[in-house]
Amino acid sequence: MAFLHHYLLIFALCILYVESTDPSAQICNENSNTTTTPEITKNIDLLLTKLVQATSQTGYSASTFGLGKTKVFGLAQCRGDVPSQECSTCIQTAAKEIKTICPNRVDARLWYEYCFIRYDTKSFFGQVDTGYGMLYANVENVTDPETFNNALDALMYRVDALAAGPGSKGLGVGETKLSDFVTLYALAQCTQDLSPVSCRKCLEIANGETFCDNKKGCRVIYSSCYVRYELYPFFFPLDQKSALESSSMANYWSLTKKP
């Protein structure tokens, strides 16, 4: 019996582990040319190495590699609350997986819960991009939409301002008590190449996604920004159990958005 119990526990942990390491979203842009040249492929490889190194140090980097027609542009960023060890692990995985997931694409983007990586043969730095998106909404509705939405709007207003504010590195987090027992947590994140105005614009569009209306939790994942709110803690500092649980996609409906 003790053995069985142990076995089940390990099994359950494995499921959580697998879910938390799967990408949250991926885009291999079909509108871009499907075949890269060997020269571009080589530049993508070298760019990815550069991005992994720099992002592991500072949590963010935007960089280019190559010249002329074979030049590639890349950006990598960890969610700003994520500790550097988790950031480094995430970005290494992302750089390895992106080429397997999007072979021969010149425009590829890959999101994990803790980090994001992207490359393109065209420059995208500083541009608000809300065209492609992946949305996850909790299958459960809130019981008192009016009270909930008022609290959510006020909290999002606060975290959006933090994210677009000076010295934030694109991150805003906050929480608000809905009752003695219920707390609402929210996070907003922009890629660090965006200006404050562009960051706000991106977050405004993300907050307006009707897919999230009256849901107990929601994630909006765009190429330029990310918004999430939940009725449980999901941003760091977090204990290991909460970190695993909050990375799970179980109990969420997803929606893929295309431009």
The residues binding ligand NAG (CB under 6 A) are 31-33, 139-141
Cis peptide before 233 (omega within 30 of 0): no
Minimum distance from residue 259 beta carbon to ligand NAG (Å): 14
| Pick 36 or 192: Cβ nearer ligand NAG | 36
| Pick 37 or 84: Cβ nearer ligand NAG | 37
Q: How far apart, in whole angstroms, are the C-alpha atoms of residue 2 and residue 6?
A: 6
CA 52 to chain centre: 16
| Pick 84 or 251: Cβ nearer ligand NAG | 251
- Contact (CB, 8 A) for 222 and 206: yes
| Pick 5 or 69: Cβ nearer ligand NAG | 69
| Pick 33 or 123: Cβ nearer ligand NAG | 33
Minimum distance from residue 137 beta carbon to ligand NAG (Å): 10
Q: How far apart, in whole angstroms, are the C-alpha atoms of residue 189 and residue 160?
A: 8
| Pick 81 or 107: Cβ nearer ligand NAG | 107
| Pick 108 or 202: Cβ nearer ligand NAG | 108
Nearest to 61 by CA among 96, 70, 52: 52
Minimum distance from residue 33 beta carbon to ligand NAG (Å): 4
Minimum distance from residue 212 beta carbon to ligand NAG (Å): 12
Q: How far apart, in whole angstroms, are the C-alpha atoms of residue 65 and residue 44?
A: 7
Report the first-to-last Cα separation within the chain, whole angstroms: 54
Minimum distance from residue 175 beta carbon to ligand NAG (Å): 24
Minimum distance from residue 25 beta carbon to ligand NAG (Å): 22
Minimum distance from residue 122 beta carbon to ligand NAG (Å): 8
